[in-house]
Structure 1
């Protein structure tokens, strides 16, 4: 389908809905079956048996029946191969090509956003009402979907299935999730206003500010979601603030890490915040904001016969203290005691974590390569004492982490740019020159002149950290993406060089074999032009060159080429 045809194509049922949400499920507790799926909306959404089972277990707090009232959290599961759509949605392609890489959708993964309610109910045999509304989506927009469920789930618990059907029909009216555009999304009598960040945004800039109120008519109430993909980083990280640089190093090198918390909300928000520590770099390891002992991948993650996988897990079941005590890095978060200055989360050796160990802390043998920025922690703690708003504290924290990641990545970006051949070496009559290979030692030799010290005041063994980073999945995914970008740029420059070449003159001094070879190359280039950032004018020039060469060939050769 051509890009312009997409707008004119008739919308199929639930097309708009599917751009945002895969399905909404209700999971209940059945005395005979345990956790069971009560309904899926829309009804035609297919989930494999394994997916259903995982969703059911992840929809309730794990081994923590003392949580009463309403609890919200989220999880992330691997889809079964047969569940993954063969034809990805155009809206996802647009989303991924225009949003920051750190929030792109990923093939084969679904996010589940949960609203769990547990209240005493004497009319039920068990004595408790236990039910969860679960919104499944491919989009990692935690704050947005948490807000959506705050509207949808209580309405469902109060009025039943009809309200869920109404909510889904409202979702089906939503425009596509377009980064960089302020969207007003109607839902059950409320407007949810959101702006998904764009790749063109200045890193760290505010996503959304309230629009001026209209004086003509009051209209429906509006809920603002300023950062739809983020958690409140300061509130989440308050217990582990002194270990911020250590955690940043563990995440950027994709080390196996487990977060043990009292509630699924704390576990999930901590894991989600950890993977965002290295923004704008994408965390490319696996992560499970909430993970239970019933998960189909439990054995894979808890086996002692091989090294722990590169995954960040959020757990609440005390059983994990025993099954994961061989993991190299463990964060145990205790009950919140209010001010972060009173939290005693000390670093302890990983071997100190015994089954009975309940003390909050950071358990690891890892020695950070970089020195801690004590000034940041002091500023944040002073902010607590002076009553600085949490949003401002979070902004300070995120700015520090953003600058740290940028200081780390800028030398790498500069080195990769230096591997690109000079534009003057691109010849229209020769093959496209390739990128020179990445050489870690050559890169490290550039650090003295162009290293992170130019933009960061943090001291330490940057070289040792880079060497560790080169062995991580974060580096390989980042470099492969950069390599593809540079290759596409070289192809686009080569296309432009072909367009600017005087092929009419060139053909006069060439043999038929050379002309035929150029015809075939130009045909291939025209195909490439469909996926490269080149203008319509460039395509037309290429077609004109192709026609010129074609007409310079004898008629019998033309007919052969025409038929091929």
Structure 2
């Protein structure tokens, strides 16, 4: 165990901007999977955290993963406060919504090594390095873990300490930045996307340009989704609908690597929407929520689970949608499959496929499917296939969101009706029927050639957590905008005109209101421009100076 001296326990503020801690999990003959080391040593983990990390750190005992295996996990955090640091709050304010930090969860990036070693009692060396972080940077932390873990296996814990000190010199994660991160002589290059917004439709159906779509270049979140979907590519449109409306999904796969990749690929299908429901890239029977997910007394919860233990093949047969990746699944070959469901089937004996009774609302885009399945003939690289698939899913999701965004703009009160002397108004409530009525003139048909029952899909979406998450975020953003407009109106008032005939109590009340509103600018991150802030302070000073000297001094010193 490393000495916990003052040098090791120095401030790791910049390190914690990126990583919470790094854990080493080993196999103990008496204890089973055990937490061997945590670095930095002062990182706080509860016993429940430690237990979950240990069980998720190794592939299932039924797996035959030999050599090195990488995968990632997502766990409900128990050990650290759900209050985000200033760095993470600043990151959340400008990052794309689908890359926002959820303070209730931690991601874990696992590098597991299993090799024969006759010097050990069991004849095998089994150990994992796990990087725990709040940031959902899937590709970046997979790369970071692939650099740190082999160094650790070669040289021990001192390399983990050295890595932490290097990471502690990195600049904080900032959306829009192109990263060049130094680690053990490597330079990791990637990009953190900025907040995005899709285009809007006017009532006449004319497209108005918005902020750019998410970049398709190398980013911290890059996923090779074609590789994950290739064996079930015929069902990609059905899966998009299931993810969009938040249906329970379970992925049965032969390894945590395959299931964690597919779970993350599913979640990414609806970018730039955020998948608001829960998802677990790798889930085991030892998880504290195992009983909740296995119960048959109520409908399965809204969650996407990735599992490898054959036990789940029996206990999850009541789930409505199951994706099976069989042992002999070849992710480079594409086979046409029908949607199928057989409740008497043991799913770990089943063939690769999508098992569901779900009837999709929309028709599939056969031209895209045809283009993707021709890759072996045209020898198109997997990265290009992924770019094609990402672009198609992005355009499909945007076509779905654009009418919603357009309708939301109609719920904003008119600027001329915002009073500088009253609190900012709230947006009008969302009316599903009014929205559906707007589809005839400004629906998805303006941007998508996919036919089907769009209205039915929207109505089903309204009952999903993804709609709640999207609507709450948009409502809050609109209300902030209305607050900014009200402050701008207040900053332009004619103070002398307003002061005419006002009692002292009214004047003091206005002073307190303006002070509170100035405080709101920082507390609620209202993005008020500097000129307006200066004007507000000038209006405040003008009002204060209208008071008698004695009262003015009291107010100024309060």
Structure-2-length-normalised TM-score = 0.92
4+ aligned runs moved over 6 Å, structure 1: none
Specify which of 24, 27, 40 is matched with residue 26 of structure 1.
24
CA distance in 2, matches of 1:301, 1:72: 25
- Deviation of 1:509 after TM superposition, in Å, equals 3.5
- Deviation of 1:337 after TM superposition, in Å, equals 4.7
Matched, 1:174 2:178: no
Pick closer, same or farther for the CA change 1:377–1:318 going to 2, 3 Å.
same
Alpha carbons 1:70, 1:118 under 8 Å: kept: yes
- Deviation of 1:128 after TM superposition, in Å, equals 0.9
The residue number in structure 2 matching 1:274 is: 266
Specify which of 87, 104, 108 is matched with residue 112 of structure 1.
108
Pick closer, same or farther for the CA change 1:493–1:381 going to 2, 3 Å.
same
- Deviation of 1:553 after TM superposition, in Å, equals 3.6
The residue number in structure 2 matching 1:546 is: 540
Q: Give aligned pairs, total.
A: 534
Q: Deviations over 1:159-211 (max 9, x none)?
A: 2222222222211221111221112111112111121112257224343xxxx
The residue number in structure 1 matching 2:526 is: 532
CA distance in 2, matches of 1:540, 1:356: 66
Specify which of 375, 390, 401 is matched with residue 393 of structure 2.
401
The residue number in structure 2 matching 1:468 is: 460
Matched, 1:123 2:116: no
CA distance in 2, matches of 1:348, 1:316: 21
The residue number in structure 1 matching 2:200 is: none
Pick closer, same or farther for the CA change 1:234–1:306 going to 2, 3 Å.
same
The residue number in structure 1 matching 2:6 is: none
Pick closer, same or farther for the CA change 1:335–1:107 going to 2, 3 Å.
same
Pick closer, same or farther for the CA change 1:417–1:375 going to 2, 3 Å.
same
Q: Deviations over 1:391-429 (max 9, x none)?
A: 111000000000000000000001011100111111213
Alpha carbons 1:330, 1:350 under 8 Å: kept: no
Alpha carbons 2:326, 2:348 under 8 Å: kept: no
Using the TM superposition, name which of 129-138 and 394-403 deviates more.
Answer: 129-138
The residue number in structure 1 matching 2:143 is: 147
- Deviation of 1:561 after TM superposition, in Å, equals 5.1
SS at match of 1:134: strand
The residue number in structure 1 matching 2:132 is: 136
CA distance in 1, matches of 2:195, 2:315: 41
Using the TM superposition, name which of 83-92 and 498-507 deviates more.
Answer: 83-92
Alpha carbons 2:138, 2:220 under 8 Å: kept: yes
The residue number in structure 2 matching 1:73 is: 71
CA distance in 2, matches of 1:238, 1:137: 29
Structure-1-length-normalised TM-score = 0.91
Q: Deviations over 1:247-305 (max 9, x none)?
A: 11111111111000011000000000000000000000000000001111111111112
CA distance in 2, matches of 1:344, 1:296: 38
Unmatched segments (≥5 aa) in structure 1? 1-10, 208-225
CA distance in 2, matches of 1:244, 1:87: 37
The residue number in structure 1 matching 2:199 is: none
Matched, 1:517 2:509: yes
Alpha carbons 2:418, 2:425 under 8 Å: kept: yes
The residue number in structure 2 matching 1:305 is: 297
- Deviation of 1:513 after TM superposition, in Å, equals 4.3
Q: Deviations over 1:37-65 (max 9, x none)?
A: 11111111111001100100000001334
Matched, 1:202 2:212: yes
CA distance in 2, matches of 1:366, 1:560: 69
CA distance in 1, matches of 2:227, 2:328: 10
RMSD of aligned alpha carbons: 1.9
Unmatched segments (≥5 aa) in structure 2? 1-8, 197-210
CA distance in 2, matches of 1:235, 1:292: 24
CA distance in 2, matches of 1:339, 1:287: 23
Matched, 1:99 2:95: yes
- Deviation of 1:350 after TM superposition, in Å, equals 5.9
